[in-house]
Amino acid sequence: MSVEAYAILDGGGVRGAALVGCLKAAAEQGIKFIGYGGTSAGSIVALLANVGYSPEEIRKIMVEEINFHDFLDDAEIKVKRFKELPQNLSKSISKDLVLLRNLDLINELRNNFGFCNGSKLNYFLLRKIQNSPKVENSESSLKEKLKNATDITFQNLKELGCFPLKIVASDVKNHQAVIYPQGSGEEALNYSAIKAVRASVSYPFVFTPIADDDRVLVDGGLSSNLPVFLFQEEQRKNSKPVIAFDLYNQENSKSLQTQQKYEFGQFCADILSTIINSSDDLLRSVTDKVYHVRVPLPANIKTLDFSIDVELRENLFYRGYGATASFLALNLPQWQKATNTIEQLQALHAPPYLVKPTLKTIVREIEETTNLRNCRSYILLPKEENRFAIAYQYNMDEDPDVDWQINVDNKGAWGESWRERKFFLLDANNLKQEPSVWNMTKPQVNKIPKDRKTIATVPIFHWKTITENRE
């Protein structure tokens, strides 16, 4: 049985081939991704997967086809000199001489804030979308329109039937993360998907920033390198899990022990890494239904190693593949054992044996403190778009509504509790007499046993979100 999930792909520069290995292993284990989110290098892989390329096709693109030098817009030598500048400064006796020799670089950075305008990257993304399976298999008029387009918007992706795609960039002028598309309205969807990815991969000082209205956009990894929060709204509706693929450096303990001095350059790099990764660590700890797949990579392959060869990229691919396969071997069995929607919900939240005692205690307390008898209790969870289902229950085994499912937008006590976040009471007889008033169907209300007189509903809050929607 396949498992539907959302994929979050983090940044990693030229090491993005590892993310493709992650997708490959997930596909082989029956994971079906119904949305992609990415930042930095992960945004490129997310876009390619979103327009229909299979993991194997993306592997060929990222491992065999891509030449990262091509994305540097003939500024490869400048980027190389810029990377070597801190080391040259630290080693040189005459700092002024080093700066003088690199005055052209410094002036270009002052004027443009980067060396590469990203035109070749934009062209690469455009051609890949135009030749993608989604475009090739689209109806003729849409196919012709996109084949001749000079840009591709999020609306175009929606017209192609693509799953949701969310891209993170960093607005350094306003000091915040920006998620594209910014909503589901017409203006938001008409934003360029290519421009969003270009902004997300704009490594500071290498690529020039994207000026967008009052924003100055650079690499999404600066604000969130692993944006596990991207599909929180969708998760509240359908309870689908998020699988977040996180690339990290596997330090060589021997090299750490033999390192003679902790140098200033490493100190600065570690400060930046701490800023980027610490916030993501906190987000992971307070975000529900996120499965965190950590992918260890060789520490000697750096984010900006544009000269990385095919063999090393292949190695990165298998690193991602192996880490994901190992993770799924431990976690997937409980998902795959689920034979229906209810069991899937239970696999994602908690096994029934942990929840049922609480439901039993609720019934016992009610019956001991009131005149009510033969009470029952259950928990409704969102199972898919705009649907509730009974995921856990006590004292309902023989009742016809044990498998009850209703719309989230019902006007009964269930829907009101969900929307208003309050306790509600409902007369079951009124509900049965006029179900349409409550935005429910007669077959739905007929499932409720005739001896049920009163329905009481209470919203269950997660401690992390209990203050949401409060004035």
Cα separation, 294 vs 277, whole angstroms: 13
Q: Are 235 and 288 in contact (CB under 8 A)?
A: yes
Give residue 33's Cα distance to chain centre: 10
Q: Are 154 and 113 in contact (CB under 8 A)?
A: no
Q: Which entry of 10, 171, 219, 401 is annotated as an active-site residue?
A: 219
| 6, β-bridge pairs | 242
Q: Which entry of 40, 202, 224, 417 is annotated as an active-site residue?
A: 40
Q: What angle do CA 66, 69, 74 make, to 5 degrees?
A: 135
Exposed (0-12), middle (13-18) or buried (19+): which is 108, by Cβ within 10 Å? middle
Residue with tokens 């939240």: 349
Cα separation, 56 vs 61, whole angstroms: 9
Bond preceding residue 164 cis, omega within 30 of 0: no
Cα separation, 263 vs 268, whole angstroms: 9
Residue 383 parent element (H or E): strand 377-384
Q: Is 92 a catalytic residue?
A: no
Residue 55 parent element (H or E): helix 55-59
Cα separation, 413 vs 439, whole angstroms: 11
Cβ within 8 Å of residue 197, ≥6 positions away: 43, 44, 47, 125, 167
Residue 245 parent element (H or E): strand 242-250
Residue with tokens 């079951």: 428
Q: What are the two backbone dihedrals, phi and then psi, of residue 470, each rounded to the nearest 5 degrees?
A: -95, 140
Q: Is 281 a catalytic residue?
A: no
- The CA–CA distances, whole Å, from 230 to 14, 204, 218, 226, 367 equal 23, 23, 18, 10, 43
Cα separation, 100 vs 106, whole angstroms: 9
Tokens for 357, please give them: 């005692």
Q: Which residues are catalytic?
A: 40, 219
